[in-house]
Structure formats: C-alpha cells, structure tokens
Amino acid sequence: MPAPPRPSVVLPVQPVVSRWRRPVKHPRAIWVAAIAATALCFGLFGVLVGASIESDRGSSSTARYSPASEPITVGGSRDDVFDGRLDVAAVADQLRPSVVTVSSDISESGVDGEGVGTGVVLTADGQILTNNHVVEGATDVRVRFAGERDPRPAELLATDPSNDLALLKVDIDGLTPAVLADPDNVRVGDEVVAIGFALDLDGEPSVTLGIVSALNRTIITDVGALDGLIQTDAAISSGNSGGPLVNAAGEVVGINTAVARGDATNTASNIGFAISIEQVLPEIDVLRAQADGETRSSGFLGIGLDDRTDGGQGAIVTDVTGGSPADDEGIKKGDIVVEIEGKAITGAGGVIGAIRDHQPGDEVEVVVERDGERKTFTVTLVERPDETG
C-alpha cells in the first residue's frame, strides 16, 4: 500500500502568457502575466473530480457566426511527413501565412494592459485557434497577418478555459490554413519547431528547434489539469502562447501553452508543453458547437484525489462523495485509480483530465487497484452538482 496522501511538490508550471503594458506615462513598461500554476502543492485533497475543476463549456462567449463552414485540413501518412531532417527555413516559410499575432485589450484588477500571443489559421474563411489565456478577460481582440502592417478586428467565438483553447473569427476569405498532423504520426524523438511571437519582439515570429521529448504529459494549472500534452525542448517564451508546434512536414502537432519554471529546490531546463493535436482536433468541434449556441455540462464522478508518494503511478482516492456515481458503483477511499477508458493513469491530474472531457450520461470505465487486486467499474457520470446550493 502507498504511503498516506500528502501534498506532492512539483515544478511550478507557468502558462506562456502574454505581456501587459501599463497605460499613460509608461507605455513601454511591461510585466509578464504570471498565471503560474497553483500546483506547488499538487495535493488535491477533497477536490471532487468534475466538481471544482471544470467550468461549463457553454459559459463563455456565444457568437453570431455559424462555424460549420470549412473542414480542418489534416496531414498525410508518416512516410510523407518524415523524409530526412527537418528543414527549419522551409517549415517557417510554409507556416508564415498561417501564423498570426493575437493582441487584446485587457482590464484586470484595476490595471489596463495589452496581451500579446499567437494564433493558428484553421480555415480559409477566417477561423483562428489560440490559447484561452491569451484572450481571457479581453474587451477587444485583434489579429495581424504576415506582411500586414495593421491588425484586423477579431471576434471571440468560443473559449474553453479548462483546455486552454479559444476560437476566433476574422472577416476575411482566402486565408492559408495550417495543416494539422495526424495524431498517429507524432512520436517521441521527432524534430519539431515552435513558432510564435515570443516577447512580442518586432518583425517576424520567432522560430526555435527541438524534439518531442515526451507524450501524454499532465500538468496542473490554476484552472485544473491539462492532459495529453506534448513535452518539448524547443524554446517557448511569453508570447508563444497559442502558436504551433510543427513537424518536419510543416504540420501542426500541438498548440504551445506552458513552460516549467525552476524554484529554490527544483531545476527546470528546456521543458515546454503543447496541447497535442490528439486533444486539439476534438476540441475544435467542441468550440465550434459552442460558438453555434450549444452548451455543454461537465460530467461528475465524485472522488477526491492525490498523487502517490511511494514512487508508484496512479491516483489515490482520498474521498468519495455520498450518493455520487463513484459511491453508487463501489469505488472506495484508498483505491488507486490506474486506468480510465483504457488509458493508463499516472497521477491525479490524469483522472481530472479524463473525466473533464466527458458529459453527464457518459459511461466511463474506471480501473482501480484495491489490496493488490484490480477492480473494474463502469460508472455513469451525472451533471455536476450546483456548488452554490
């Protein structure tokens, strides 16, 4: 049996957030918006999966635009993608018309400023994908295309804070959409390029080279868990948020979203994270549906979680809500969740991410270890209880 649950210290995860300019007398004074993870103490004691982590996806913006316009372009086979080493110059040139600067006017806690990030063109008729944290709290959003001097107004169609993605729309046709990679083509060791407007530097976007360091990473941020992430050593900086991580064929394998920062007791070097294309593709459909007026409630399982502290993998159940789906099916305090829907669980964040992407009424297969034996439960999720009542 694992040691009793306790907070696990992890590297602080800092989303690659936009810069802010203070107004009036010091227009060039800047500070990095440190939406750093509150996960220095990762222990999720009493956090009920699907309850305190997920906000309803339909609670953000609803647009006047029906997004059922053009399909997303997905790349070809792996043999077509990997033909020799990555040509950085060719990839950068290929992506140039499909990567945009995203700027926004933001007012937060009495401070007005401008956020700057990056976006990826999804369709020829003006759909653009970026990070939610680039446009969160924005009163006005603009995008600027390669070769253009002036930005264009953009409409915020839909956001999903829990997955850190947002969908924008500009009133223009004939754009060059980025090609999104087939998720099956992404492997550890693949060379990749991160493209984005790092630090809002003048001119063209910054381009950095690295590899896919790992797949299916999970991190905890201030709004919950991001799972299924690609870890990369390609340099990612503030302003890269929402920009593409691209393979040798110029196909987008992920959306850059976060970096790990060292602290007094931990060292982090070249550890960045991108939302994997495997997560992005279904999320585009969710955002489009939301933009078209559909609301989506989050599923509720009803367990509290913590990581193991004995070096093992899995998530310890620290609490079970009475009358919840987990309680009804017989999941107990002390169980170790090791698998959900056939996917191995390495920590508490993995459970949070897995449940977050399901809706009330979905049946979810949960595998736990109890007293050295595996038990499988088929749990039907319910709608998240009203936290105010």
Q: Indicate which residues carry an active-site annotation.
A: 133, 164, 241
Up-side HSE of residue 13: CA atoms within 13 Å toward CB? 25
What are the phi and psi torsion angles at 114 (to 5°)?
-125, 125
